[in-house]
A and B are shown apart, each in its own frame.
Chain A
Amino acid sequence: MRRYLLNIMVISILTGIPSLIPAQSTYSNSLSWSVEDRDFSREFLRNYLDELYTQDPTADTEIQETDQLLVQVQIGPQGGATLEEATVVSRGGAYNTLSAQVLDSLDQSQVQALVQRRYAWDYLSGQQLNKVAVTGEIINVFQERNNKQVRDAFWWTHRRMNLGALSQGFLRIIPKWAFMYEFGRQDLGYPAGVSKTTNVGLATEIFKVFATFPVPYLFEIGGGGNAPLEGSYGGGLKFDTPRFGGSVSFQDMLWRSADDVAVADSENVVYNEFAGQVFYSFTQRIGTDDEDAGLHIPVGSMRIKIGVSYIQMVYGNSYINDADEFRYREQDRTDRLNNIQAMLRAEYASEMNERYFNAWKFMTQLNVGVTGAGGVQIGLSRTLIEWLSVDLMTAFYWSGIEFTRPDNEPYNWNPGWYIIPTVSINL
């Protein structure tokens, strides 16, 4: 109680903070489930039918002993559970509610055994929940599982190995964590090709910690762009919980050496010195499994992320000095207001099969700065056969960033348009 009062008090003071708090309880005044112990449900329904025919020998009912039994129980305010409703589902999918009058006439020890749930049971599926009038707030196990699947599909892999040629890869030698690599920074709006970086590190269920390295320019199709973001050495941390996620990362040009991959244009070097991001997310079930529906979205989950990024861009020139050392001379940097970007991202993954494969994955992300600058990414992934999937990522930036040199000459860095196809191997 003391803990609760304290929580309430502080939450009241910190206006706005409550939205950060995940739901800690899902109190419901009713419970519902499906009886999975077939022996138990058969015996119960046999007794029910016996009582029904005792009361009305001419009763006409579709209920059979082999039907699936669904139970709904009411929890009283002082505790104590009473049977509110019992429904059966026939093999053909028909729902029939058991008669309350007959249930009341049954030996109450049988009803009590049904209510006490000392047998194998399971949660109601979404369809069953719709058919059975359930009151109270529901956290459904199937929904939580689906939410997690779409999150995991973009966070890492449920397979032992997922290696993308130009995107990201995971090697889960030890199941609890994985070696990871990631070209570019898709989460910040600069995927492979647009950012000459690769992050290499460890991924766990809840966070990733990585070191950043400069990599050569990958490739660009589409043209019209300027040089991509240059890369250097650095590091970062990302996390992704059911509702909240974020990242913090940095790079330092001081750590580059003359032996590293060359910058594309030494007179105009733009890189992301540091970045931070936080987002809120929620997931929705979408799609249909009706194969006769023509072109349709397969059943899956869509996760929406809404967040804000702080991305510090630095402009300068580089040179190799007399001691054969790489040197970077900063000329300008984006101001704090222009570092802030709103982020809206949608991730869709079709339902994962029992071998942990998603047939389809789709994402799109919009980044918009306070001055209207920004870009959009769209990515699509299709698993062709279990071990091979093809991915296509496109990124477009409708405006660049204007820097000013010390001599007041402007330099407009415009990333342009990129199409990045790749393949992934899943084992």
Chain B
Amino acid sequence: MLPGILPLRWFKLVLLLLCVVYGRHVFAQVPEPLDQRRFDAWSVGYTPYRLMVENAISGYRSVNNDAIPPVEPQDAVVLVQSRVNTNELYQLWYGTSAGGYTVISGDEVRWILGETLQEILLEKNQYYSIESRVPFLTRESQPVLDYLERKTHWTRTDFEIGIERSGYYFSDQGGIYYQWGEGLLNRPYNLMGLTKIGIATPAFKFGILTNQFMDMVTGYVGYRSYGERLAGANGGFGSFTFNQYSGEFGFTRNTTPPLEDGQPGDPVNYIDFYSLGTMNTGYEVSAGIEAVRLRLGAAVYRVAHQQIDSTGTALVDQIKNGEPADPTYSGGLLLRVDFATPLVDGNYPKFEGAVQYLTGTGLFIRGTYNVNSVFSIPVTVVAMTNKASWDAQYGAFLGFRVHLGLN
């Protein structure tokens, strides 16, 4: 056993998964059409510079009778720099994995961008830029993998309505959304007691945590009493994604009973802190499913124990042995596998799924049947292996999602 940290079998598993996650970088084939050793490639994520590139392309089209295709809002704009000549851009790519890329080379890049914009864009470490593999891929596109990668933290739709998540995304840069529960904690839907409402971007999200909508509307999720489920609370959360890493934390605090239906003395248990971090990697595979995405990391959450006071208007700590009851920590190592079948019309997979195991908590399985590009039916099953008094042993959830304006 690794001293005081992990049992040996877990240590081996972690070692194996680390090899899997990082092995792809070691054994990656020499990509085409560009040699990755000779070029750097990145996409422009800083909105003002990205808009300037779009404007420059638009301007060049205007004075050249639309000689090159237009750049669309959802397109990736990828810049390529030769490591031999670092003073100028070698190529400019724009497009999508599903729709293909337009590649501009040589002098035409300078003609499109202008000198100062090119100089600014070359300083890729001084603005929000994201390393891109697109010019190095042996295949022109890997749409299913891109689909899964994009869904890990961001979205593929402009507007989505669903039971578990809804959002409106103003552009490829940001939007507002709500999410009911957190699947990565094995607590989707009402198993968390909380709803997230916030701002989402491809790089980060942040916002408030509050009582779940169902509780707010009905005043109560009727099938279980206060002490037998996680109650709601108010607080905040933040999450980020950076290269293949992502993380999230949230915190809440209750000073008054979260709902009106509690009685004096009722225990109130709620998640007052959670944190998770994962590293992510994707693979193209065959045999029915087109691509898988692995996430390995850790997740932990803490359940606070309070109770409604004698007046019924305030929360006080539960007392055990004369001291405030210590909160309960849960969680551990996290392994999640997302997968999807080939895309239909380059837009959506007919079926996508996820299997996740969080040590100390349980198993999460989700299958989503996409009826078409607009309507989806996700089915989620959660099994708790370490059930507390506020947990259900099993949970099964049938949801729906409507998404409009597929990118």
A22 in the interface (beta carbon within 8 A): yes
The proximity string for A residues 226-250 relative to B, scoring 1 for CB distances below 8 Å and 0 otherwise, is 0000000011110101100011101
Question: In the bound complex, do residue B114 and residue A145 qualify as a contact, i.e. CB atoms below 8 Å apart?
Answer: no
Roughly how many angstroms separate A139 CA and B59 CA in the complex, as a whole number?
13
Question: In the bound complex, do residue A118 and residue B111 qualify as a contact, i.e. CB atoms below 8 Å apart?
Answer: yes
Listed A/B pairs (30) with beta-carbon separation below 8 Å:
A3-B405, A7-B405, A24-B51, A24-B171, A33-B114, A75-B62, A116-B64, A117-B64, A120-B115, A122-B114, A122-B116, A123-B114, A141-B116, A142-B116, A145-B120, A147-B48, A158-B126, A205-B127, A206-B46, A207-B240, A209-B238, A209-B240, A209-B247, A234-B251, A237-B240, A239-B203, A242-B46, A242-B48, A246-B206, A327-B323
Counted as pairs of residues, one from A and one from B, with CB atoms less than 8 Å apart, the total is 170
A252 and B273 in contact (CB under 8 A), knowing A24-B171, A117-B63, A206-B128?
yes
Secondary structure dominating the interface of A: mixed
Roughly how many angstroms separate A122 CA and B405 CA in the complex, as a whole number?
36
Please give, as numbers and ranges, the residues of chain B lying within 8 Å of A36 by CB-CB distance.
115
A144 in the interface (beta carbon within 8 A): yes
A248 and B128 in contact (CB under 8 A), knowing A14-B168, A333-B255?
no
Question: In the bound complex, do residue A176 and residue B125 qualify as a contact, i.e. CB atoms below 8 Å apart?
Answer: yes
Of all chain A residues, which has the CB nearest B245?
A: A202
- Which of A3, A14, A148 is close to B48, meaning CB atoms less than 8 Å apart? A148
A123 and B116 in contact (CB under 8 A), knowing A118-B111, A144-B49?
yes
The proximity string for B residues 112-133 relative to A, scoring 1 for CB distances below 8 Å and 0 otherwise, is 0011110010000111110000
Roughly how many angstroms separate A11 CA and B55 CA in the complex, as a whole number?
24
Question: In the bound complex, do residue A148 and residue B127 qualify as a contact, i.e. CB atoms below 8 Å apart?
Answer: yes
Chain B nearest Cβ from A72, distance in angstroms: 12
Of all chain B residues, which has the CB nearest A204?
A: B242
B283 in the interface (beta carbon within 8 A): no
B138 in the interface (beta carbon within 8 A): no
Please give, as numbers and ranges, the residues of chain B lying within 8 Å of A273 by CB-CB distance.
253
B52 in the interface (beta carbon within 8 A): yes
B47 in the interface (beta carbon within 8 A): yes
A276 in the interface (beta carbon within 8 A): yes
A371 in the interface (beta carbon within 8 A): no
Please give, as numbers and ranges, the residues of chain B lying within 8 Å of A10 by CB-CB distance.
159, 168
A126 in the interface (beta carbon within 8 A): no
Please give, as numbers and ranges, the residues of chain B lying within 8 Å of A139 by CB-CB distance.
48, 51-52, 55
A177 in the interface (beta carbon within 8 A): yes
Question: In the bound complex, do residue B126 and residue A120 qualify as a contact, i.e. CB atoms below 8 Å apart?
Answer: no
Q: How many residues of chain A have a CB within 8 Å of chain B? A: 70
Question: In the bound complex, do residue B55 and residue A24 qualify as a contact, i.e. CB atoms below 8 Å apart?
Answer: no
B158 in the interface (beta carbon within 8 A): yes
Question: In the bound complex, do residue A237 and residue B239 qualify as a contact, i.e. CB atoms below 8 Å apart?
Answer: yes
10 further A-B contacts with Cβ under 8 Å, apart from A22-B173, A206-B128, A237-B240, are A3-B73, A6-B159, A17-B176, A148-B48, A204-B128, A207-B204, A237-B249, A254-B327, A274-B236, A274-B251
A117 and B253 in contact (CB under 8 A), knowing A206-B45, A235-B275, A239-B206?
no
Roughly how many angstroms separate A236 CA and B108 CA in the complex, as a whole number?
45
Roughly how many angstroms separate A178 CA and B168 CA in the complex, as a whole number?
32
Q: How many residues of chain B have a CB within 8 Å of chain A? A: 64
- Which of A17, A75, A121, A175 is close to B115, meaning CB atoms less than 8 Å apart? A121
Question: In the bound complex, do residue A22 and residue B208 qualify as a contact, i.e. CB atoms below 8 Å apart?
Answer: no
Question: In the bound complex, do residue B63 and residue A73 qualify as a contact, i.e. CB atoms below 8 Å apart?
Answer: yes
| A interface with B by C-beta (< 8 Å) | 2-3, 6-7, 10, 14, 17, 20-26, 31, 33, 36, 73, 75, 79-81, 115-123, 139, 141-142, 144-145, 147-148, 152, 158, 172, 175-177, 202, 204-207, 209, 234-237, 239, 241-242, 246-248, 250, 252, 254, 273-274, 276, 312, 321, 327, 333
Question: In the bound complex, do residue A239 and residue B404 qualify as a contact, i.e. CB atoms below 8 Å apart?
Answer: no
Chain B nearest Cβ from A54, distance in angstroms: 28
| B interface with A by C-beta (< 8 Å) | 45-49, 51-52, 54-55, 59-60, 62-66, 73, 107-108, 110-111, 114-117, 120, 125-129, 158-159, 168, 170-171, 173-174, 176, 199, 201, 203-204, 206-208, 235-240, 242, 247, 249, 251, 253, 255, 273, 275, 323, 327, 404-405
Roughly how many angstroms separate A242 CA and B49 CA in the complex, as a whole number?
10
Chain B nearest Cβ from A349, distance in angstroms: 14
Chain A nearest Cβ from B88, distance in angstroms: 10
Please give, as numbers and ranges, the residues of chain B lying within 8 Å of A276 by CB-CB distance.
208, 236
Please give, as numbers and ranges, the residues of chain B lying within 8 Å of A207 by CB-CB distance.
203-204, 240
Chain B nearest Cβ from A129, distance in angstroms: 13
Of all chain B residues, which has the CB nearest A205?
A: B128
Question: In the bound complex, do residue A2 and residue B235 qualify as a contact, i.e. CB atoms below 8 Å apart?
Answer: no
Question: In the bound complex, do residue A206 and residue B203 qualify as a contact, i.e. CB atoms below 8 Å apart?
Answer: yes
Of all chain A residues, which has the CB nearest B275?
A: A235
Chain B nearest Cβ from A257, distance in angstroms: 14
Roughly how many angstroms separate A255 CA and B235 CA in the complex, as a whole number?
18
Please give, as numbers and ranges, the residues of chain A lying within 8 Å of B237 by CB-CB distance.
248
Of all chain A residues, which has the CB nearest B60?
A: A117
A20, A204, A250, A333 pick with most chain B CB within 10 angstroms: A250
Roughly how many angstroms separate A237 CA and B238 CA in the complex, as a whole number?
6
- Which of B65, B128, B174 is close to A79, meaning CB atoms less than 8 Å apart? B65
- Which of B52, B199, B239 is close to A144, meaning CB atoms less than 8 Å apart? B52
A141 and B120 in contact (CB under 8 A), knowing A152-B126, A242-B48, A246-B206?
yes
Roughly how many angstroms separate A258 CA and B253 CA in the complex, as a whole number?
24
Of all chain B residues, which has the CB nearest A152?
A: B126
Question: In the bound complex, do residue A22 and residue B253 qualify as a contact, i.e. CB atoms below 8 Å apart?
Answer: no
Question: In the bound complex, do residue B170 and residue A80 qualify as a contact, i.e. CB atoms below 8 Å apart?
Answer: no
Please give, as numbers and ranges, the residues of chain A lying within 8 Å of B158 by CB-CB distance.
3, 6-7
Please give, as numbers and ranges, the residues of chain A lying within 8 Å of B204 by CB-CB distance.
206-207, 237, 239
Of all chain B residues, which has the CB nearest A121?
A: B114
Please give, as numbers and ranges, the residues of chain A lying within 8 Å of B66 by CB-CB distance.
79
Roughly how many angstroms separate A242 CA and B128 CA in the complex, as a whole number?
11
Chain B nearest Cβ from A137, distance in angstroms: 10
Please give, as numbers and ranges, the residues of chain A lying within 8 Å of B236 by CB-CB distance.
248, 250, 274, 276
Question: In the bound complex, do residue A81 and residue B115 qualify as a contact, i.e. CB atoms below 8 Å apart?
Answer: no
A117 and B111 in contact (CB under 8 A), knowing A204-B242, A239-B204?
yes
